[in-house]
Amino acid sequence: MLTISWIVKGVLFTQSFTYEIAPVFVLMEQLTLKKMREMVGWPNGEGDGLFSPGGAISNMYSVMIARYKYFPEVKAKGMSAAPRLVLFTSEHSHYSIKKAGAALGFGSENVILLSTDERGRVIPADLEAKIIDAKQKGCVPLFVNATGGSTVYGAFDPINEIADICEKYNLWLHVDGAWGGGLLMSRKHRHKLDGIERANSVTWNPHKMMGVPLQCSAILVREKGVLAGCNSMCAGYLFQPDKQYDVTYDTGDMAIQCGRHVDIFKFWLMWKAKGTIGFEQHIDKCLDLSQYLYNKIKDREGYQMVFDGVPQHTNVCFWYLPLSLRGMPEGAERREKLHRVAPKIKALMMESGTTMVGYQPQGQKVNFFRMVVSNPAATQSDIDFLIDEIERLGHDL
């Protein structure tokens, strides 16, 4: 027990900005990040990376690095040294891309949203048209974010087609795989991220699909050195160049923060315990369960899918129609009533303490349920119970 206690204290209270402070954890981080880059498909796992305080910060890193790569003078002189730069991201992407644009001085109006198809995937032709339009207006396109598993629909953008356009116009390509990056562990499902190896940077959150305890998010960068160039300030009181060891292990200067929590240990330990095959089984089971839910409700009376076709990820989006709405003709009154169904059922679920499922609107679509499976301990009987509970609570609304 004493040994375990000291290990816990070491993880909780150790910083990881220099090798001498946390040598084992720094090496764990470097080895694990290299393995993650190999799984992305970069030769020999070359490149750089860090664990950050979440996917929003990892995505912000990607924008910072892209700006530094193309306009390094901004680091010293500020945004006045650059032309009007614009970023591109899906209308279904995580809000952190827009937030990064605002926080880093681009301005949220210079984050251009891309149209998607009915499944929530970016339409490449719309990206190219908006790049051309931005250039004609005197703006300089800089950065494109492709989403690998969107928050609501679980959509995977067509990375290869987007990469072709980025190469044509010399833009930085980032893949936000915070939610869907874990599929790289699955031989059955990793094809949904085809083309990710062409990205300049990738966000991957093991604390999402892979079940690693919060927080555990990685920013991976294909080109070695650009992350350090972007962020290093060479503070002499921490990062002395004449230490007795290889100071490239002092990774803290690559980060925007100084004190940095040891996020690697729980992931490394979990990977050692489960193995890559264990993570693959975990992910495949979650996707199988979401398929089970989809198959069970797609033709079931009282349910309507938000979009046609099998979901790409574990996100299953649907409306439940109480008996009172099933014969009602389409129109404003029906939309208004349907909009209130999911919030009411969720409230009843919480009051009864039986289960809880998220809901939201999307674009012009009224509130719908979004059932996400990320816990491999869930079973088909849990899915059956969920359906029964929705029907029990919502039948007479």
pLDDT above 90 (res 232): no
Residue found by looking up tokens 């050195």 in the block: 225
What's the pLDDT band for 251 if we cut at 50, 70, 90? confident
Is there a cis peptide before residue 215, judged by omega within 30 degrees of 0? Answer: yes
- Which pLDDT tens digit goes with each residue over 296-349? 999 999 999 999 999 999 999 999 999 999 988 889 999 999 999 999 999 999
Residue with tokens 């996707």: 287
* Cβ pair 264, 243 in contact under 8 A: no
Report d(CA 181, CA 239) in Å as an integer: 33
On whether the CB atoms of residues 14 and 259 are closer than 8 A, the answer is: no
193-229 per-position pLDDT tens digit: 999 999 999 999 999 999 998 889 999 999 999 999 9
Q: What is the pLDDT of residue 143?
A: 98
- Measuring CA to CA, how many Å separate 2 from each of 21, 25, 54, 268? 22, 20, 32, 22
Q: Which range has the worst mean pLDDT, 201-215, 257-271, 359-373?
A: 257-271
d(CA 174, CA 189): 20
SS3 379: coil
In the prediction, which pLDDT does 17 show?
65
pLDDT of residue 298: 94
Q: What is the pLDDT of residue 315?
A: 96
Calpha distance 224→396 (Å, rounded): 60
Distance CA 50, CA 217 (A): 8
Alpha-helical segments (H) within 258-360: 264-297, 332-352
Average pLDDT over residues 137-149: 97
Between 14 and 192, where is the model more confident? Answer: 192
Coil, strand or helix at 142: strand
Sheet holding 315-320, edge to edge: 303-305, 315-320, 365-372, 358-362
* CB-CB contact of 55 with 202 (8 Å): no
pLDDT tens column, 65-97 = 999 999 999 999 999 999 999 999 999 999 999
C-alpha 355/C-alpha 392 separation (Å) is 12
- Helix then strand then coil, in percent of the chain rounded to 5, is 50, 15, 35
- pLDDT tens for each residue of 25-46: 888 999 999 999 999 999 999 9
Computed over every residue of the chain, the mean pLDDT equals: 91
Confidence bin at 1 (pLDDT 50/70/90): very low
pLDDT surpasses 80 at 246 = no
What pLDDT is recorded for position 21?
Answer: 75
Quote the tokens at residue 194.
Answer: 């085809």
Distance (Å, whole) CA 70 – CA 110: 17
pTM given for the model: 0.92
Give pLDDT, residue 12.
52
Dist. CA 322–CA 395, nearest whole Å: 5
- String of DSSP letters for 110-140: GEEEEPB-TTS-B-HHHHHHHHHHHHHTT-E
Torsion sign (Cα): 343, 215, 274, 180: positive
What is the full DSSP assignment across 183-248?
GGG-TTTGGGGTTGGG-SEEEE-TTSTT-PPSP-EEEEESSTTHHHHHH----TTT--TT-SS-GG
CA distances 47 to 128, 166, 220, Å, are 28, 20, 7
CA separation for the pair 266, 79 (Å, rounded) = 38
Residues 6+ apart with CB under 8 A from 200: 62, 65, 66, 69, 172, 173, 174, 221, 222, 223
